[in-house]
Structure 1
């Protein structure tokens, strides 16, 4: 038995030493295989035999050896069957031996190109006792030539008398009229080195095209890490100041240019509306001055409309003498307080230049 165990180990080592080969179970379809096998058989401790009128038990464990032959046929790349016959010799308690036969049929299933399983029925006679078993096996197959494969296989069988027994075997299979069962695995193909492209910055903004989210930046502007122009907020303020003669709401000659400039500013920023504020000095009744300031504001507002500003964007208000620009203590100061003014501001994004 020690020799058989050593042989099983040797066959397993041979399978492991065979170089990995590309297998194709489809090439076995329609082909017959046949070959010898040898193995160890583990009897159930409840198996008894009668010899010379005496009842014996077997030693237990892998206490039996066997050798036999199998033949099979694969009818799809996954499914096939085999039949087998084995001659068994087991060691009984007391040092005596008993011999017998096992034969059966298995349905085979290929899980992969190397691993397979089997399910079948077996009739095992050892000594004087014969039993029928349901047998489950699993094995590994490795080709060593075009027509020969080594196998190692383990299995378990269960009888209707509640006997559970084990087997471990190695074998050789020859395939008849079989096309080449393997081809050497192709050597790995070294990927061709693609020429390294130098980094490109098409718009010259200092950010490579691979990272540039604004690829057509105009030269001369600062950009961020994504290659996009950087902006800052810029507030633009426009002030309109028109002064009037004493007790007058008529726009003096020469001040139309300031009003025109304000109109152009409003055209540049159509989102802006303007409030025209009218004022007076402190001479005269307060109620009269309030009305006069309103008339002055309206005169400038109408002038902006004349210069093309939509009337809805212009509003006017009069404050009379309540908001002097300077103290009404001198004639010159009073002249400054007779005024119309407007303040406008807008914030816009301005590109930052290098």
Structure 2
């Protein structure tokens, strides 16, 4: 009879082999199980031991299916000498619950099957029942490919309305997988932002920025006006980009002295400003327009030809002529321009030659002032 159970179970295994083979190519875990137990019969049979042989396959980390065959020998409790042999064939679904530690895996079972009971007391010698079962069990890994398993099943006959309870234990050999328990998918790691500035570590060029500091896309404190000084140290925010600043973010100012000279020459005994010298006069006007706090004194001079008193008056008229050009032609305010004649008292060249006397017939102006400039970037 045991040989008959093994043959029947082999036939069921071969029937499912295409499914198993296909699944094995994808790397599932198979389980060959053998065990024993005791059945508490709910009909007229005496309680007895049973033997199990099965083949299962885990479809996912939680779900599996299993083909199981059971053999038992018992006797009817009515009368004497009536023994019986029984076989069961089941197809069960197993759902594995959350693991207990690293090796224990509890599970729930639900399935259906067929039972054949063979006895001389039965008419025709055999009785067949359709059974449904539900149960709970646990698997415990003993070695890489070996586990111990025990469970309890409640089996109900759909044909004769009785319920059996079976307790089983045994060993399972595992094959067709890498040998390690399936691991859960690792949770995606969130990028680290150690200083909590909103910029992940791999992009943070300024780690350990104090909390609450406004930072740029590189994790460094902001420099809103791009002057090279961070906002927390910038005492002059909004400085124009072209100006060079100090370590407080304020423009660097430089003090310097600037000056300009003008020389206008005149014809003999003339106080008229010739057009050829207008560019010299304009140069003074442009300088004074740039520096609005400057004032200028226009100095008139002559050579020594003629009486000294006349030359004094001529030099004054020459200075006044240049003054009028600055005011009337170039728009300077009258209170910023003064004219003084020195006659022949201050020659710059000898009066013994025509060339020297021409150099002495002149109007000159010199202006200098201290100004502060904002230093620009290179």
Provide TM-score, normalisation by structure 2. Answer: 0.40
- Tell which has more relative contact order, 1 or 2 (C-alpha 8 A, sep 6+): 1
Provide TM-score, normalisation by structure 1. Answer: 0.43
* Structure of higher CA gyration radius: 2
